[in-house]
Every structure is written in structure tokens, then in C-alpha cells.
């Protein structure tokens, strides 16, 4: 099977965000970059399918500035076979990124399944999987926490609200975006990390994939940190007194209960 | 004034409150507000849309649309857009809305901003704010190009308007080609919880690692049920198996903005704050007066949750009487 995983590099979740000079993005100095956590489920799923289907290959693709090659190396160290880096400006939105990824996928001879994480934890847009699916003309199933594979059909367990699930049957080729619960991602071993450093990463330009800045649909500006909160009220007393005072405050003052 | 199309979401013939927020906001701004409902036998829901501000209601009804699939619903919403020719298309950032809108945006070449937490209409355009870096920062959205302006809005961001009784609207049927679909719903497995979903609830009561067991979460559930609230959890509580992942609030869980968030025995790690700091009123209950959660709390209770939470439940019950 020809398995693809699209991943994104994002700031580590511990990162304290600092806004850059013109509010168009963040100050990248000192940021530790990681593969977006949900993408790890996508890589793991592709690797497991490959391991059960002899002759399969897993290709990871990212679109982003040069630093994002590191995320590809992480996926290679986990066990991916090939890696493609599409050079995309830092400020690209979901639509531009999706055009770039779709363009790279369209150059491939045959695509069976494309895996994504359900969203990247930087812009949290949760758009790219469905956009790519539409651009390459295949169906998509999102926020998947379990997949059963039967020949060329997939039975996906899609998480929705209230603890409910949709069981969705779909045929390949297909785009699937994964969430926590899909699997337990593996850790790369040291020898594999070393080996991954030497693997080739195929570079593609925007021209190669037929994308351009005119594909961009929205822009973020005026980034601001949330206003610092005023010191809250301390509720004193023993538990019973605290409970009484709190309920009074929530009812009469905050008017939220 | 703009022509606005709102995707009004239903499951099992019940409309989502979050959709009413959008209808209300659009109507209040004086827009020509169209609603589209997709499902099977949903025309009867038209009047409810009218009471929340829709001036026209369009329905796509078919057995193949009974349950949501991205593929079929995208075709229906695209058909609605072709019929209405709106300048603006809105949906809620729910499991359905957030899955659907990108597919539709790609098909109509629209410009989509997702998970917005504030929205204002300005002529034929929108002024939007959305959290980035999981709520660690806020950004303004600028639309580029001339495509339809589309947005998904986080539930509870606007507030549900008062319905206007007696308002009615005729449902106009849309024609949707549903041939050759490649996705099929086999089954919708219902959740076993009568509680509201953590992303939709007006009140969320969350517990952390300090609850020490799944069983102890009963006291959190009792408080939640007294308040009609959802139950949330920190990742530490989820990883320990006290709660399912769907309850996790934070950067790698659900992002919530209820009117009241009660954090019980949660330290307030940066990843947790990312998921709840836009809540309108935050209460923290924690034994450690230095816990970072107090920095974002509107009301801080330094105390043992095993004593404070049951006392709180009792007080809330009194209030309800
Ligand atoms: C990649 C990554 C992603 C993450 N994503 C998330 C996420 O989405 N959501 C999330 O929540 N975390 C997330 N985390 C984890 C986060 O860093 C914290 O570890 C976690 O939030 C801590 O949970 P906690 O507050 O329940 O536990 P602790 O940090 O252990 O805090 C327990 C708190 O309970 C208090 N306490 C103890 N006993 C009592 C008592 N009897 N009464 C009252 N208070 C008491 C203590 O004073 C303490 O403040 C993530 C971490 C990483 C690395």
C-alpha cells in the first residue's frame, strides 16, 4: 500500500508565547519545535498498516520553512521510509499549505491512504485534512479514534460530542485525520534517530507542487497575549462557609448560576 | 448589511443551541439571514430557526442525509450556497461544523476562518478574533481575495438570543445530487452520558489528578449534575484512567469557554490553561495557595476539594429550591 502522512512542526506545548514586532506572528527565538502531538497518531497508524501489509511504503510530507525538516526526521526515525519537504513560507494559512501538500500528493504515482492529525496545536485551524482531501478529490473522515481495515475499505470510528461515535465506512483512496485513542505512538530508538539523520529528504518548491501565495485565503494579524487577569477574589473560611460565600458570589455577583 | 447563510446543525431532529447564537447575531446586525438545515425530514424545524432570527429557511432532506457524513453534507451545503449566493457562511465549531466547513470552503473556493471566539458584521464582511497557540494568544483575522467569507464560531462565544415566539418560515427544499457517495454511516454509537458535552456546556466542573480515583469523580459529577454542567478533567486525570479522553480540557484535549468553569484540584499547567482560559468566570479549588490556577481564577478557594466540593453541591441544591 502507498501510505502518506502529512505532518506539521509546532512549538512545544510548554512554550510561553511572545508576539513578534508587528503582531503578525510569534517571536521564534528560543522555541523548541516538535511534531504536532496529533500527528504522532497519524505516523504510528501508517507504520502499523505498513507492518501488516508487506511491500507497503510510508511517505511523510510537510510544508513549511526549513526548520520543519526536523519533524520529518522524527517521523523517519519512527520508521517512515520516505520524506518530502515542500518549501512554504512561515505565514501561509491552511488553504495555501493544503494546496502545497495536495500538489505534492498529486505528483505521486498512487495514493491509498493519507493520514493527518486532527489539528495542529499552533493555529488550531483543523482545516488542512479536509482541504487536501477535496483538492485531491477523495473523501475524508475526521477525528478518528479507531480504524478497521478490510481490503480497500476502512471502518472508521469518528469521535463526536457527548461521548458518541460515528462508525463510518469509506473506500480508498481516502484522507483520515486521527486523534488520541487511535493508537499509542512509538518512541524512536537512538539507532533509528541516527539512521534518520542520513536519510534523504526530497525537497520541492512551490513551483514543483503548483501552489502560490495567491492560494492564501486568510491572514492572522494583531496577535495579542490574553490580557492579564485581575487578581481574583479569595474565598475564606471553613469548607461550609467557603461554599456558601462562593455560591452567593456566583449567583449575585458573577450571575453565572 | 450582508446576505448570510447559517448552517443550522441538527442531530436526531434536535437543533443545536450553538446554531441559534449565529442566527441571532446575524439577525441582530440587520443581515438577510438564511438558515440551511440538512437531515432527513427536518422541514418541521424551520419555525424554530425563524424564532431565532432566520428570515428564510432552506432544507436538504434525504435518507442519505439522516446522519452526518462529510461527503454528503458537503454536497448539500454547497447546493445551499449555490442557491442563496451568500456573502458570508457561518457554522459552529462543533464536531460536525468544524469537519464540514473546510470541505465546503475548498469546493466553493471560499475563505474560511475556524474556531472564532468573537464575530462582528461590518458591511458585507466580518471582523473576527480567534485564539492561536491553543488560546495562549488571540489574533485578528483578515480575509484575502474575493471568495465567500466563511467562519466557524466556538459554541458559547456569542450567547443564545431570546426566541421570538410565533415567528414562522416556510422551508424551501434544496435539490442535492447524492449519487455515487463513497462514505456511508454504519452506525451512530450513542454516548452513555446524559450530561452535556464539555465543549457545549454553559458550566463545566473539572477534576484533576488529586481526585485519586475514577470513583472519587462522583463528587465532581454530583456538583456537575446539580448545575446541569459537563464534567471535564486534566490530562493527568485522563492518563490515570479516571476519565475518558473526551473529557480532557487543554491544549491536547478540548478547548472550552463556558460561562462558568470550576477547576477542582487542578494545578493549572500551561497546557490546561490553554483549554479553559477564555471561560467567562473561573473558580479554582486547590489546597496549594501557590497553584498557578489561581492566577486565572476569578474566585479562589484554598481548601480540600473533598470537603469543599460536596459543600458546594449542597449549597447549589439549596439555591435551586
Ligand atoms: C504535550 C503535552 C500536552 C499536554 N496537554 C494537556 C492537556 O490538554 N490538558 C491538561 O490538563 N494537561 C496537559 N498536559 C499536562 C500538564 O502539563 C499537567 O501535567 C497536567 O495538566 C496536570 O494535571 P493536574 O493539574 O490534574 O495534576 P497536578 O499538576 O499533579 O496537580 C494537582 C493539583 O491538585 C492539588 N490538590 C491535591 N490534593 C488536593 C485536594 N485534596 N484538594 C484540592 N486540591 C488538591 C495540588 O495542589 C495540585 O495543584 C500536557 C503535557 C504535555 C507534555
∠ CA B34-B111-B19, nearest 5°, is: 35
In the numeric block, which cell numbers belong to residue A241?
Answer: 462557609
Q: ipTM of the assembly? A: 0.95
Question: Is residue A89 included in any domain, yes or no?
Answer: yes
The region that residue A49 occupies, defined by phi over 0 for left and psi between -120 and 50 for alpha, beta otherwise, is alpha
Same domain? For A71 and A30 the reply is yes
pLDDT per residue as tens digits for the range B295-312: 999 999 999 999 999 999
Same domain? For A211 and A233 the reply is no
Least confident among A185-189, B153-157, B193-197, B210-214: B193-197
How many angstroms separate the CA atoms of B305 and B208, rounded? 10
Question: What mean pLDDT do residues A107-116 have?
Answer: 98
pLDDT per residue as tens digits for the range B166-194: 999 989 999 999 999 999 999 999 987 78
How many angstroms separate the CA atoms of A238 and A244, rounded? 10
Whether residues B311 and A239 touch (CB distance < 8 A) is answered with yes
Domain range enclosing A178: 2-145+173-215
Report chain A's mean pLDDT, rounded to a whole number: 96
Same domain? For A209 and A235 the reply is no
In the numeric block, which cell numbers belong to residue A180?
Answer: 488520541
Question: Is residue A223 included in any domain, yes or no?
Answer: no
Q: List the beta bridge partners of residue B23.
A: none
Of all residues in chain A, the percent with pLDDT exceeding 70 is 100
pLDDT per residue as tens digits for the range A238-250: 999 999 999 999 9
Question: What mean pLDDT do residues B194-210 have?
Answer: 94
Which residue minimizes the CA distance to atom 1 of ligand 1? Answer: A13
**Ligand 1 site: residues with CB under 6 angstroms?**
A 13, 37; B 208-210, 234-237, 248-253, 265-267, 269, 271-272, 275, 285-288, 291, 304-306
Number of folded domains that form chain A: 2
In the numeric block, which cell numbers belong to residue B118?
Answer: 468573537
What's the CATH code of the domain at A117? 3.40.50.620
Same domain? For A209 and A237 the reply is no
Q: Residues A180, A38: contact at Cβ < 8 Å?
A: yes
Same domain? For A207 and A239 the reply is no
What's the CA-to-centroid distance between B308 and ligand 1, angstroms? Answer: 19
Same domain? For A116 and A235 the reply is no
How many angstroms separate the CA atoms of B98 and A257, rounded? 29
User: Does the pLDDT at position B291 exceed 90?
Assistant: yes
User: Distance between alpha carbon B277 and the CA centroid of its chain, in Å?
Assistant: 16
What is the per-residue pLDDT for A228? Answer: 82
User: Does the pLDDT at position A47 exceed 80?
Assistant: yes
Q: Residues B178, B65: contact at Cβ < 8 Å?
A: yes
∠ CA A4-A129-B6, nearest 5°, is: 165
What is the per-residue pLDDT for B135? Answer: 85
What is the per-residue pLDDT for A54? Answer: 97
Question: What mean pLDDT do residues A173-192 have?
Answer: 96
Report chain B's mean pLDDT, rounded to a whole number: 96
How many angstroms separate the CA atoms of A92 and B308, rounded? 48
Question: What mean pLDDT do residues B31-43 have?
Answer: 97
Same domain? For A186 and A256 the reply is no
Same domain? For A126 and A185 the reply is yes
Of all residues in chain B, the percent with pLDDT exceeding 70 is 100
Which residue minimizes the CA distance to atom 30 of ligand 1? Answer: B209
Could you tell me the strand order of the sheet in which B3-8 lies?
Answer: B111-116, B149-153, B88-92, B3-8, B32-39, B56-61, B171-173
Position in ligand 1 atom list of the atom nearest CA B305: 42
**Cβ contacts (< 8 Å) between B189 and chain A: which residues?**
164-167
What is the per-residue pLDDT for B125? Answer: 86
What is the per-residue pLDDT for A220? Answer: 95
How many angstroms separate the CA atoms of B153 and B163, rounded? 20
What long-range pairs does B167-171 form, CB within 8 A, spacing at least 24? B167/B47, B167/B50, B167/B51, B168/B46, B168/B47, B168/B50, B169/B35, B169/B46, B169/B47, B169/B49, B169/B50, B169/B54, B169/B55, B169/B56, B169/B57, B170/B46, B170/B57, B171/B37, B171/B42, B171/B43, B171/B46, B171/B57, B171/B58, B171/B59
Could you tell me the strand order of the sheet in which B137-143 lies?
Answer: A218-224, B137-143, B125-132, B118-122
Question: What mean pLDDT do residues B241-269 have?
Answer: 95
Cell 497575549 appears where?
A: A225
Same domain? For A88 and A207 the reply is yes
Cis check: omega of the bond before B251, within 30 degrees of 0: no
Cell 463510518 appears where?
A: A168
Same domain? For A177 and A250 the reply is no
User: Which of B107, B295, B304 is the closest to A229 by Cβ?
Assistant: B295
What is the per-residue pLDDT for A162? Answer: 86
Whether residues A218 and B95 touch (CB distance < 8 A) is answered with no
What is the per-residue pLDDT for B244? Answer: 92
Question: Is residue A40 included in any domain, yes or no?
Answer: yes
How many angstroms separate the CA atoms of A194 and B318, rounded? 64
Question: Is residue A136 included in any domain, yes or no?
Answer: yes
What's the pLDDT band for B278 if we cut at 50, 70, 90? confident
> Taken in order A72, A136, B151, B181, is the CA torsion positive or negative?
negative
Question: What mean pLDDT do residues A97-107 have?
Answer: 98
How many angstroms separate the CA atoms of B140 and B161, rounded? 25
The single-letter DSSP state of residue A181 is T
In terms of Cβ atoms closer than 10 Å to its own Cβ (0-12, 13-18, 19+), residue A21 is exposed
Question: Is residue A12 included in any domain, yes or no?
Answer: yes
How many angstroms separate the CA atoms of B53 and B67, rounded? 25
**Cβ contacts (< 8 Å) between A11 and chain B: which residues?**
133
Same domain? For A131 and A251 the reply is no
What's the pLDDT band for B320 if we cut at 50, 70, 90? confident
Q: Residues A76, A60: contact at Cβ < 8 Å?
A: yes
Question: Is residue A159 included in any domain, yes or no?
Answer: no
In the numeric block, which cell numbers belong to residue B277?
Answer: 482560559
From A13, A12, A71, select the one nearest A42 (Cα to Cα): A71
CB atoms within 10 A of CB B134: 25
Question: Is residue A60 included in any domain, yes or no?
Answer: yes
What is the per-residue pLDDT for B123? Answer: 86
Same domain? For A100 and A132 the reply is yes
What is the per-residue pLDDT for B293? Answer: 98
Q: Residues A31, A9: contact at Cβ < 8 Å?
A: no
Amino acid at each position: 500500500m502507498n501510505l502518506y502522512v502529512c505532518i506539521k512542526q509546532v512549538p512545544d506545548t510548554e512554550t510561553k508565547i511572545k508576539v513578534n514586532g508587528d503582531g503578525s506572528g510569534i517571536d521564534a527565538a528560543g522555541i523548541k519545535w516538535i511534531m504536532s502531538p496529533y500527528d504522532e497518531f497519524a505516523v504510528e497508524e501508517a507504520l502499523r498498516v505498513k507492518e501488516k501489509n508487506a511491500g507497503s511504503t510510508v511517505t511523510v510530507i510537510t510544508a513549511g520553512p526549513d526548520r520543519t525538516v526536523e519533524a520529518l526526521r522524527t517521523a523517519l526515525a519512527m520508521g517512515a521510509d520516505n520524506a518530502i519537504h515542500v518549501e512554504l513560507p512561515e505565514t501561509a494559512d491552511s488553504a495555501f499549505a493544503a494546496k502545497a501538500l495536495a500538489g505534492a500528493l498529486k505528483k505521486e504515482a498512487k495514493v491509498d491512504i493519507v493520514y493527518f492529525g486532527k489539528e495542529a496545536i499552533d493555529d488550531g485551524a483543523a482545516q488542512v485534512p479536509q482541504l487536501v482531501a477535496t483538492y485531491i478529490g477523495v473523501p475524508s473522515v475526521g477525528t478518528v479514534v479507531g480504524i478497521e481495515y478490510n481490503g480497500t475499505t476502512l471502518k472508521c470510528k469518528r469521535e463526536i460530542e457527548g461521548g458518541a461515535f460515528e462508525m463510518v465506512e469509506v473506500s480508498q483512496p481516502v484522507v483520515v485525520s486521527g486523534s488520541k485513542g487511535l493508537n499509542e505512538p512509538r518512541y524512536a530508538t537512538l539507532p533509528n534517530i541516527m539512521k534518520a539523520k542520513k536519510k534523504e529528504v526530497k525537497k520541492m518548491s512551490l513551483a514543483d507542487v503548483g501552489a502560490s501565495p495567491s492560494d492564501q485565503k486568510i491572514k492572522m494579524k494583531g496577535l495579542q497575549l490574553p490580557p492579564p487577569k485581575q487578581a481574583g477574589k479569595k474565598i475564606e473560611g471553613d469548607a461550609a462557609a467557603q461554599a456558601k460565600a462562593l455560591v452567593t458570589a456566583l449567583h449575585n455577583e458573577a450571575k453565572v448560576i | 448589511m450582508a446576505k448570510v447563510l447559517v448552517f443550522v446543525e441538527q442531530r436526531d431532529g434536535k437543533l443545536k443551541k450553538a446554531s441559534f447564537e449565529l442566527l441571532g447575531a446575524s439577525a441582530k446586525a440587520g443581515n438577510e439571514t438564511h438558515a440551511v438545515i440538512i437531515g432527513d425530514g427536518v422541514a418541521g424545524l424551520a419555525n424554530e430557526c425563524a424564532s431565532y432570527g432566520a428570515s428564510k429557511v432552506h432544507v436538504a432532506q434525504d435518507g442519505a442525509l439522516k446522519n452526518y457524513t462529510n461527503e454528503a453534507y458537503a454536497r448539500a451545503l454547497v447546493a445551499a450556497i449555490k442557491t442563496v449566493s451568500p456573502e458570508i457562511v457561518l457554522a459552529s465549531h462543533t464536531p460536525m461544523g468544524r469537519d464540514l466547513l473546510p470541505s465546503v470552503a475548498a469546493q466553493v473556493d471560499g475563505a474560511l476562518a475556524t474556531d472564532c471566539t468573537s464575530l462582528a458584521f461590518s458591511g458585507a464582511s466580518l471582523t473576527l478574533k480567534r485564539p492561536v497557540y491553543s488560546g495562549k494568544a488571540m489574533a485578528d483575522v483578515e480575509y484575502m481575495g474575493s471568495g465567500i467569507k466563511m467562519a466557524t464560531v466556538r459554541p458559547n462565544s456569542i450567547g443564545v438570543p431570546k426566541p421570538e415566539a410565533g415567528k414562522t418560515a416556510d422551508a424551501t427544499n434544496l435539490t442535492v445530487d447524492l449519487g455515487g457517495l463513497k462514505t456511508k454511516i454504519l452506525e451512530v454509537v450513542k454516548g452513555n452520558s446524559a450530561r452535556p458535552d464539555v465543549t457545549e456546556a454553559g458550566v463545566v466542573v473539572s477534576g484533576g489528578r488529586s481526585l485519586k480515583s475514577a470513583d472519587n469523580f462522583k463528587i465532581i459529577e454530583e456538583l456537575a449534575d446539580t448545575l446541569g454542567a459537563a464534567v471535564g478533567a486534566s490530562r493527568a486525570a485522563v492518563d490515570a484512567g479516571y476519565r475518558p479522553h473526551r473529557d480532557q480540557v487543554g491544549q491536547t484535549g478540548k478547548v472550552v469557554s463556558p460561562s462558568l468553569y470550576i477547576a477542582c484540584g487542578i494545578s493549572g499547567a500551561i497546557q490546561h490553561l490553554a483549554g479553559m482560559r477564555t471561560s467567562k468566570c473561573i473558580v479554582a479549588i486547590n489546597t496549594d495557595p501557590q497553584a498557578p490556577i489561581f492566577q486565572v481564577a476569578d474566585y479562589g478557594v484554598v481548601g480540600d476539594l473533598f470537603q469543599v466540593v460536596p459543600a458546594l453541591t449542597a449549597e447549589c441544591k439549596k439555591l435551586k429550591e
